[in-house]
Amino acid sequence: MKGVSKVVKILKETYKLYGIIGGYKSGDIDKYIKTICIKVESALEGGMTILQLREKYMSISYEVKLAKAVKEICNIYGVPLIINDSIEVCALSDADGVHLGQSDGSIKEARKILGNEKIIGATAHNLTEALLAEKEGADYMGSGAAFGSETKFDAVKIQLDEYNAITQAVKIPVVAIGGINYENVDLLSGRGLSGIAVISAIFNEKDIKHNTVLLREKLKNW
């Protein structure tokens, strides 16, 4: 699906509903991949606009296998696939991009390896980090934690007004992350954000498609 990344960099709408999935620890990898693919397709049917694979305890070979399987589904829906942390997995799986945390490597180095076609996302917890990420060439940034986090227990909450300062200072899309769900998402409206990143609010729900639809409805006037 050549050329997807170029379009994504222009359209902030792509970052509207940013799903994040992962969590493998051990067990039958093929069964895990099948489960992930089913969940991903449900979210895509509900209107998820971009997806990140976040695997912290998976071998490179397994993660590449997973990424390739998920990318096939994402391609059908025209939705970009982002790999968390790993430039290598991004390159080997031909995913659409990589997301780098504060300690996950250099944006400039990632660009040198992956080229201009790929999306490179960064993490920013405050205005200073946001300005630096944009200066180094990030295509978008994830910023939080908006309301704490169910997956990162050491996550520090951001003051919501900080989003206003960040979005006014940078030109690239800013995506809020951290404990966001249907009940609190309205508190982020009107802050210049391009979208929200969610894990539990979509992928921990019984009806993934339905909950994705509900979140998209909340975001339609952003």
Q: Where are the domains of the chain?
A: 14-217
149 confidence band (pLDDT: 50, 70, 90): low
Rounded (10°) angle between helices 127-136 and 160-169: 30
Give exposure, 183-197, as e/b (b: 16+ Cβ within 10 Å). Answer: eebeebeebbbbbbb
Instruction: From residue 113, give the alpha-carbon distance in Å to each of 67, 81, 82.
Output: 18, 18, 15
- Lowest average pLDDT, out of 41-55, 104-118, 145-159, goes to 145-159
Would you state the torsion angle of the CA atoms of residues 64, 18, 15, 68, taken in this order, to the nearest 10 degrees? 20
Over residues 73-114, the pLDDT tens digits come to: 999 999 999 999 999 999 999 999 999 987 768 999 999 999
DSSP E strands: which ranges in the chain? 17-21, 50-53, 81-84, 97-100, 119-124, 140-143, 174-177, 195-198
Tokens of 102: 């504060």
2 confidence band (pLDDT: 50, 70, 90): very low
62 confidence band (pLDDT: 50, 70, 90): very high
- Quote the percentage of the chain above a pLDDT of 70: 91
CATH number of 14-217: 3.20.20.70
pLDDT at 129 over 70: yes
Q: How many residues does the chain have?
A: 222
Query: Could you give the CA distance from residue 14 to residue 142 in angstroms, rounded to a whole number?
Result: 14
Over residues 175-217, the pLDDT tens digits come to: 999 999 999 999 999 999 999 999 999 999 999 999 999 999 9
pLDDT at 153: 54
55 confidence band (pLDDT: 50, 70, 90): very high
pLDDT at 12: 74
pLDDT at 8: 45
- Lowest average pLDDT, out of 1-5, 140-144, 150-154, goes to 1-5
Q: Mind giving me the DSSP string for 100-128?
A: E-TTS--HHHHHHHH-TTSEEEEEESSHH
pLDDT at 20 over 70: yes
